[in-house]
Chains A and B, each alone.
Chain A
Amino acid sequence: MTDAVISIKFFASLREQVGQAEAEVAESGVSTVLEAWNSATHNMSMPENTLMAVNMDYVDASHAVKAGDEVAFFPPVTGG
């Protein structure tokens, strides 16, 4: 059995603001994307325009998360 953790990733300017590219948080007490953010950043306030993805699909902050999920946070995209 794998550990009951959620993988967190931060990209671009948000990675620099948070000060880490990746983190793991315990599933216990974390049931939404917002709670995963709070756990990984020690309750840093989330910038208003932050985008979120669970398992590489866009979601909002209230989306459910579970052990084994990959949750990503990043600023507005600027490709092309």
Chain B
Amino acid sequence: MMLIEIKDAPFEPYQRLLDYQVSADFAGKFGATSVFVGSMREFNQGDDVEAMLLEHYPGMTEKYLQKISEEAASKWDIMDSLIVHRVGEMHPNDPIVLVAVWSAHRAAAFDASRYLMEELKSRAPFWKKESLSDKTRWVDKNT
């Protein structure tokens, strides 16, 4: 069902993953789950980062997350995928993104989850603004 969620408040990725998998209709059919969790660091480009504001383009963000999920499902033999992404104000150690892919065997789950993360980072319209001790700055590009 390739679920996409944008959350404006902190979320617990491992709890979300467990809840999703328990209610999934592919129980007993998958042999592999590949999971990626991205979290906020307390440093970037040599500076301490105290907080971060994550902005998105409501509508287009969901559209592109859906699009890349469909691309992954057409490229690999997977059963399902889940993408959860934070927006709003966050702090170091807060989870930013959860990507999970379920498949019968590991290769498809590994490859598809990598694809989802790389495509999310290059195509999904999200922007980060960091708060340092003395100023704020937009992150100008993804590494």
Q: How many A-B residue pairs have CB under 8 A?
A: 73
B81 CB to nearest chain A CB (Å): 15
Which of A12, A53, A72 has most B Cβ within 10 Å?
A12
B107 CB to nearest chain A CB (Å): 23
The answer to whether B96 and A80 touch across the interface, beta carbons within 8 angstroms, is yes
| Closest B residue, CB atoms, query A79 | B126
A60 CA to B74 CA, complexed, in Å: 26
The answer to whether B141 and A79 touch across the interface, beta carbons within 8 angstroms, is no
The answer to whether B57 and A76 touch across the interface, beta carbons within 8 angstroms, is no
A58 CA to B119 CA, complexed, in Å: 14
The answer to whether B38 and A78 touch across the interface, beta carbons within 8 angstroms, is no
The size bracket of the interface on B is 20 to 34
The answer to whether A12 and B127 touch across the interface, beta carbons within 8 angstroms, is yes
A80 CA to B141 CA, complexed, in Å: 12
What residues on B are CB-neighbors of A11 within 8 Å?
55, 57, 125, 127
The answer to whether B126 and A77 touch across the interface, beta carbons within 8 angstroms, is yes
The answer to whether B123 and A75 touch across the interface, beta carbons within 8 angstroms, is no
B14 CB to nearest chain A CB (Å): 18
B124 CB to nearest chain A CB (Å): 5
A11 CA to B124 CA, complexed, in Å: 13
The answer, yes or no, to whether B91 is at the interface (CB within 8 Å) is no
What residues on B are CB-neighbors of A13 within 8 Å?
127, 138, 140
Apart from the given pairs A53-B125, A76-B140, A79-B54, 7 other A-B contacts in the complex at a CB distance below 8 Å: A11-B57, A11-B127, A13-B140, A56-B57, A56-B60, A77-B125, A78-B140
Q: What residues make up the interface of A, taking CB atoms closer than 8 Å to B?
A: 9, 11-13, 51, 53, 56-58, 72, 74-80
Q: What residues make up the interface of B, taking CB atoms closer than 8 Å to A?
A: 38, 54-57, 59-60, 63, 85, 96-97, 117, 120-129, 138-142
